[in-house]
Structure 1
Amino acid sequence: MKAREPRHKVFVRARMNCAGTWQDITVQNVSKRGLLVRPAEAVPKRGDYVEVRRGALKIVARVVWSAGPLFGARTQDAIDIPALTAARAAPVTAPTEANSPVAERRERPRVEEIAARSQRRAAAFQHMVLLAGIVAVALVIGATLFDVVDRPFAAVRQAMAGNS
């Protein structure tokens, strides 16, 4: 069994975006690739992607469990623990065009959008392969039928050529 990553107890206030809604959170412990979080409002569901911000630090993670007022999230990239604990909390200000979550989403596609686009491409590729297979089978059947139908006509052509 794989050894569990060491946890660091912390009490770090930050902001979290889940499904376009920002809220205050407290990170209660952190490991190299995971966070234990207590949100101020709603706890996200398992499988949801969250964006945690503290100062200039941005962490994107996926919720792997939730129990009561807490949830655990796992990141793909390693978390810079000293930067998380040392960073000053970003002041809560009204979003401007430059720092708004909407403007940022326009810059980088969300994970869900990338996954949906990938699924559409995979489905299109499957349809193209299926269509190519159907065309190949139709060509083989057509060539076989042409050969079957052409044999009697070839015999008639040969017989007519021999009588002339």
Structure 2
Amino acid sequence: MLAKLQTGFRPREERITVLIPSRMRVGSAWTDVVIHNVSSRGLMGGCDTPPAPGSYIEVRRGTIVIVGRVMWGKGRFFGVRTQDRISVKALIDEPRLAGRPQPKAQDAGTERRAENRLAHEARMARSVERSRAFSSMFQYVGIVLTIIAAVGLGGSIIYGALTEKVATVTQALEVK
């Protein structure tokens, strides 16, 4: 059925899911961006202030520079069609630069990220781990409370049935 619907369309190129922190320049402003998936001709990124569709951007990861045009945007996410082919393996394997590039005199007045990237990532990892531990504990407590409620309900039903039978027997013994 799906093949009949896709007649005349090229198959979509496979996207590789990644989480690659990078820097993005829109106009003269730099911002942090995370690449969420990538193919040889495009990528999907996410950031707090995504660029408008139709704008041209530059994404940098280490020594790799990707130039492209934003094709769509939805919430914090946006899709980019790149000018040149992307080597997905090179992008994934690219290490971060040891230090930040030195700002030029014209960039000195622009705002840069104040906190250390590694400290931020460590804090986020701790937050994720705390959330995971909380959800495991919440799930455990929920299961235990459900079991206690089921046992209480079952005990109540059994107690009611036995009390009725004992009352009948007691009444029969008192008559004689």
- TM-score normalised by the shorter chain: which range applies? 0.5 to 0.7
Q: Which runs of 5+ in 1 are unaligned?
A: 101-164
For CA contacts below 8 A with separation 6 or more, give which structure has more relative contact order: 1
Residue pairs, 1:9-158, within 5 angstroms: 9-39=17-47, 41-90=48-97, 91-96=99-104
Aligned-residue offset at 1:76: 2.3
Which residue does 1:156 correspond to in 2?
none
User: Equivalents in 2 of 1:56, 1:85: separation in Å?
Assistant: 12
Aligned mates of 1:86, 1:56 — CA distance in 2: 11
Relative to the length of structure 1, the TM-score reads 0.56
Cα distance between partner residues in 1 of 2:72 and 2:30: 20
Q: Is the 8 Å Cα contact of residues 33 and 75 (structure 1) preserved in structure 2?
A: yes
Distance in 1 of aligned mates of 2:32 and 2:101: 13
* Partner Cα separation in structure 2 for residue 83 and residue 66 of structure 1: 26
Equivalent residues of 1:28, 1:38 under 8 A apart: yes
Q: Which runs of 4+ in 1 moved over 3 A?
A: 90-94
Question: What is the letter of the counterpart of residue 12 of structure 1?
Answer: I
Distance 1:88 1:53 in 2: 12
Gap runs ≥5 in structure 2: 1-8, 109-176
Q: Distance in 2 between matches of 1:19 and 1:26?
A: 18
Paired-residue identity, %:
39
Contact preservation (8 Å) 1:38, 1:70: yes
Counterpart of 1:47 in 2: which secondary structure?
Answer: coil
Instruction: Give how far 1:92 is off.
Output: 3.5
1:45 corresponds to which letter in structure 2?
A
Q: Secondary structure at the match of 1:37?
A: strand
Q: Name the SS of the counterpart of 2:92 in structure 1.
A: helix
1:58-102 residue CA offsets vs partner (Å, 9 max, x unmatched): 0001000000010000012110111111112234354136x99xx
User: Alpha carbon RMSD of aligned pairs, Å?
Assistant: 1.9
In structure 2, how many angstroms separate the alpha carbons of the residues matched to 1:25 and 1:81? 17
Contact 1:13 1:89 in 2 (8 A): no
Structure-2-length-normalised TM-score: 0.52
